[in-house]
Structure 1
């Protein structure tokens, strides 16, 4: 059911879905816009009041959706980033499927069908992941020594919302897409997860350990937040 949310600044169309099983009001924003889920038995003024209270959040999230960057186009000449530096995707037709090779500032992908974007994307992602685990383990080893803790096990992650994690077994997971970021950003995430080996929380003591390993961590954290959407495009 299509509805309009009327605000002083204008109107926002949304889809209303009613369910007898629901007990609460739910808001969801995706590629189709705003969807409002409500229980079957509810006073409509209550729904309108909630939408007005959440209007700033709704406008912000809709704006983020509208202004988000376009996904990577897996074509010859596409610009990618490796350790914060631009590299150019270079597609070359070859009789054999070959592994990507970084040649100067070009990431060369050679294969029989250079129009097969699914294969190109998979190859590039695997190339990023291979170099990510090598880079991350080296950084973890160096900072673990500085922190005075044994070298932990390091694994790659493909989490949707977290760049890194450290579990109770002392295992560290780092998102492979971080290899696109500048080194100081990667260093911050590594420092953050290593600090959990000292403090499994986000207390002042925890942040003191992070600062010891990464003195300008606050700046790096803000930069990572700003570039997160771009890093997820690959």
Structure 2
């Protein structure tokens, strides 16, 4: 049986949830449960496809947000710190103009993820265009763009635990 301290992606969840996940891991039922719930793989495999995917969501929900300069899969992203994606912002003065540049990088692990998890990560990073902190407004925006956001976040943590 896995120790609950091994469930690093589930830190902060109540003990009864951790016990249930630990039991599913030791019984071997977590992987089949996730595979049944999320049977498909997405077709977004290139940085260009990821950019198009993110821009489509941005246009639908965040038309007035700052533009995106880049969206790409990052092979260097280490999941050890819990970072699954990043949103970087740079402001530079060029001549008399202030240039803003927003970049989203998604861990390359998500090339093999179910489409729901990729969408959840992209929604999360897009929400940072409007809300920099993980506050109530941030999570409301995430839930507006993806109504099942909180369930998908939890299921993604389960998927990462299996990996």
Question: Which TM class, normalised by the smaller chain length?
Answer: 0.5 to 0.7
Higher strand residue share: 1
2:131 is matched with which residue? 199
1:113 is matched with which residue? none
Distance 1:218 1:206 in 2: 12
Distance 1:193 1:84 in 2: 24
Change (3 A) 1:153 1:84: farther
1:144 deviates by 1.3
Unpaired stretches in structure 2, ≥5 consecutive residues: 8-21, 29-37, 91-101
Change (3 A) 1:177 1:206: same
1:133 deviates by 2.2
Matched, 1:175 2:107: yes
Q: Which has the higher contact order (CA 8 A, sep 6+)?
A: 2
2:148 is matched with which residue? 216
Higher helix residue share: 2
1:61 deviates by 2.7
Kindly provide the CA deviation profile for residues 152-175 of structure 1, in whole angstroms up to 9, marking residues without a partner as x. 411322322311111233211101
Question: Between Structure 1 and Structure 2, whose CA radius of gyration is higher?
Answer: 1
Kindly provide the CA deviation profile for residues 96-124 of structure 1, in whole angstroms up to 9, marking residues without a partner as x. xxxxxxxxxxxxxxxxxxxxxxxxxxxxx
- Kept in 2, the 8 Å contact 1:132–1:176? The answer is no
Change (3 A) 1:84 1:199: same
- Kept in 2, the 8 Å contact 1:153–1:171? The answer is yes
Matched, 1:164 2:55: no
Kindly provide the CA deviation profile for residues 32-76 of structure 1, in whole angstroms up to 9, marking residues without a partner as x. xxxxxxxxxxxxxxxxxxxxxxxxxx9423697x96x9xxxxxxx
Kindly provide the CA deviation profile for residues 179-227 of structure 1, in whole angstroms up to 9, marking residues without a partner as x. 2111111111000000001011011111121112111101110110000
Matched, 1:151 2:68: yes
Matched length = 117
Matched, 1:85 2:40: yes
SS of residue in 2 equivalent to 1:167: strand
Distance 1:62 1:205 in 2: 31
SS of residue in 2 equivalent to 1:171: strand
Q: How high is the TM-score relative to the length of structure 1?
A: 0.43
- Kept in 2, the 8 Å contact 1:144–1:151? The answer is no
